[in-house]
Structure 1
Amino acid sequence: MSSPSLLTVSSAQRLAVAVVVTISVGYTITVIAFVLSAGSFPQIALLIGALAGFFLPHYLHIRAALGNVEPSGAPYGLAMQVVATYAPFPAFGPWWTAAAAPILAGSVLLRLGPRRGTWAMIPIMVFQAWWSSTGPYGTIASGFYYALTVFITGFVLYAVTRLVVVTRELEQARAELAEAAVLRERLRISRDLHDGLGRSLTAIALKGDLAGRLLAGLPAGAAGETREARREIGELVRIAREAAQDVRRVARGYREMSLTQETHRAVALLEASGVSCHVNLMEEELPRPVDEMLAWAVREGVTNVLRHSAATTCSISTSRVSGAIRLEIANDGVAPVETSGGEGPRDGHAATADGAVLSEPEGVPAGRDGSGLTGLAERAAAVGGTVRARRAGRGGFRLTVEVPAP
């Protein structure tokens, strides 16, 4: 069984407005209909004036209460409502006052607050009890009934408007608690990254340094192999140290990526892996969100080239196309996609919810290792961009990212 949904500010405000309108119309509609149908022209004019003088301040009180605006200054609007409630008594008798007095009690509570407003309601309740018990058909029971009507109606109007304020405060409290929970989780992740992965990467770098020193002490019989091994170990140490620095930056919360720097790192990594790399970046300063998005795209694209292909060449280029910046990463050496169940070869395309067209990483069957491109598409969608990844020609693969930029 599903749990009931929480009351939102908008639903609470709709409820409050519905209750206020129902009470305001329900209490006064009979008097208004009687005067309009049987009253004289002066009585109709007096009724229109009384309605305007009563409900205009009433509306202002309700609006201020729904907006949680603290009242200030003299209560002129409340005084106008009192006059509009009791001045027509000689013309209409007790019927208009009986309809307006309970609504007036709500305005009293909203304007003066529950402490002072409760005391201010006492004269209203006493007057209602007096005329309803001393009239031609009055009884003590009717006096008690009308006095109780003033009290209950006033607090109902006050309660439904305060419900909106309390609901808004609860929503703010929930948002603050959620933000605090996210902050605590970030602190935990930062601590775990710094204490766990950072320490492991530092140990890898130290072990690499040690291996390099041990190689330096070997006899010179295999100088070429020793030199090559020393170079590879040095590259391993450099990459481990850069990764450790990245972990520390993430843990400290100020990591910033740059397209130029990420491209330089990608070129060094590709060439160290035996992949010839060609770079053609446009000389234009990009907005920070666009630059960071494209840097992530370079990182993801180069990671796929190294992990999922036997590429010998790779190109990275940027260009401006129709108000957008386009990044293209193309490589060769794509492995053929295995098929199962006699379904024939797949084209490697998959559509995401945001409209980006993705592909399985080069030659990797669906569901095995495709989360990187999905995450990249989500990053691109956050800045209004798109991602397309597809096979190009025979054994080629092209990753295209377009991000709007002024």
Structure 2
Amino acid sequence: MKAYIVGGAVRDRLLGRPVNDRDWVVVGSTPEQMLALGYTPVGRDFPVFLHPQTHEEYALARTERKSGRGYHGFQFQAAPDVTLEQDLARRDLTINAIAEDPDSGALIDPYGGQRDIAKRTLRHVSDAFAEDPVRLLRLARLAARFTDFSVAPETLALCRRMVDAGEVDALVAERVWQELSRGLMEARPDRLLTVLRDCGALARLLPEVDRLWGVPQPVAHHPEVDTGEHLLMVLRIAALLDAPLPVRYACLCHDLGKGSTPAAQLPRHIAHEARSVELARQVSERWRVPVDCRALAELAAREHGNIHRSANLNAASLVRLFERCDAWRRPDRFDALLLACECDARGRGGREDEAYEPRPRLNAALAVARAVDTAEVARAAAERGSKGPQVGAAIAQARAQALREHGLAE
């Protein structure tokens, strides 16, 4: 048997990027031999083992054959006579189909991966790429990671044929969210959407997002005009600010309602916030988005306009804003909401470097309002005979008064 380093570890080393873990492919072995050597089996669909000391993954060289729709429809064959070249042939992109001999350092590159690294090109190994729709999502994610790479025209054309054939319709929610969430966390999450849109997959997976392109906005507030282009700019700012996943997902969903604005209202978007909340909820349910991401997305969709205009709110209105956002109990989530709003405000033509004043001001106001001794206010209100909602009103008044006294609102 012979083991080779394969895939991302080889690719990243050639790109001068950190190599955090290594995957191996084993040629000329059987599951029984791997067990006899002390490897621990972990694969269910095909033989994958953990090394007894390093715990790195070692997979037996294998071939695969499409047997149905979606990414589940495969039959695998792992046998001692499967060659390294055959194993590399089943991989998605040429830059991922390079192997390294750990003994000599020699590279085995039968499909031109080094050439495409030099050309900064994402290219499929073979037409077998089309058999697994997850590869289309992975392609978009890698475009978001490797920001100076472009997708080969023939690969993009193949992706379009996959979409037309309905392959992406067979994807399950868990895999879609896994790839979307990882793509949103890459250096250029906007490129994730661009690649998906260029091949038609965005309209199938996220039609609510795809509808934003071609929808105008008032030029006074949005010099970039097009709502889809605004979204791409917002995601770029989110990456620039190193925003966590819930914030980036909130950015993705914050303006979805603008895609359904009646044509007679354009370029204005009256009440788009309420429509955005409902559409964000639909996206989250479709792809089984985690609770922290979906909650912040709905909050940002509903409140981002109010936060942008918060300098005009009086003290009582600010307290109501905090209440709607559950900021008393979740100040951390409220700050995440403000970060999403900052991304929205700065994701506009010529405003990328502008400071976002509402974020420090509202955080300071929240700190003052939260410092009010609500137990003491409630006790005093109860002594006056107040009950239930009256006590709540007294607490709200005390918080508003604290904001006035600190000069944070009128």
- TM-score under structure 2 length normalisation: 0.21
- TM-score under structure 1 length normalisation: 0.21
Q: Which of the two has higher C-alpha Rg?
A: 1
Considering fraction of residues, name the structure with more helix.
1
